[in-house]
Amino acid sequence: MNPFEAKPKIEDEFLAYTFEYMSMANRRGLKLSDELARTDMRMSQESLGKNTIGICRWSPLGTLKVRIYGPWWNGAGEEQRRTLVFHELNHCLCMRSHNHRGGDYAHDAPVYDVGKGYLGDMCPASIMHPIMIPTQCLRTHQEHYDEEALESCRD
């Protein structure tokens, strides 16, 4: 790591979710600790872009930078917070795009739909959906989302 880049840090708000994610990854035999050591996850009070509540970027100096939009976070429920952290860690640590088991989601994919990328009740089939999944879907399908989250992760 470049000495001119700040040491990566995961802010306290995200630690429990990050620990849970890493525990799930470890149980699957995924070795992501090197990537996690380079991850800098912080709250941003500034806009991350239109309709963007979280973002993962790779620094040219090797740090994986996750930013979470603070005003959204402050109004979000537990399920949504957990899902956003898992979603962004999947981008950074697993190199996943906005995809599901059958392909990629369009950037403007509807939250509820039928067919590829959606479950029988029209909830998104993946936490990698580009729009925050409704809380009811998260509660109904948490086990599915947890399993799917790391299924396509590279180690």
Q: Which two tokens stand for residue 139?
A: 């509660």
User: Which is it for strands 64-69 and 39-44: parallel, antiparallel or unpaired?
Assistant: parallel
Look at the block and give the residue holding tokens 């697993």: 94
User: pTM (2 decimals)?
Assistant: 0.91
Which residues, at least 6 apart from 31, have a Cβ–Cβ distance to it below 8 Å? Answer: 155
Comparing C-alpha atoms, which of 82, 97, 69 is closest to residue 138? 82
Q: What is the pLDDT of residue 5?
A: 56
pLDDT at 1: 44
For residues 81 and 59, give the distance between their C-alpha atoms in angstroms, rounded to a whole number: 24
Q: Which distant-in-sequence residues (6+ apart) come within 8 Å of 27 by Cβ?
A: none
What string of pLDDT tens digits covers the 155 residues of the chain? 444 456 789 999 999 999 999 999 999 999 888 888 889 999 999 999 888 999 999 888 888 999 999 999 999 999 999 999 999 999 999 988 998 887 889 888 888 888 889 999 999 999 999 999 999 999 999 999 999 988 877 64
pLDDT of residue 74: 96
**What integer pLDDT is reported at residue 3 of this predicted model?**
47
CB of 109 closer than 8 Å to CB of 117: yes
Res 36: pLDDT? 87
- Residue appearing with tokens 């070795």: 31
Q: How much is the pLDDT for 154?
A: 61
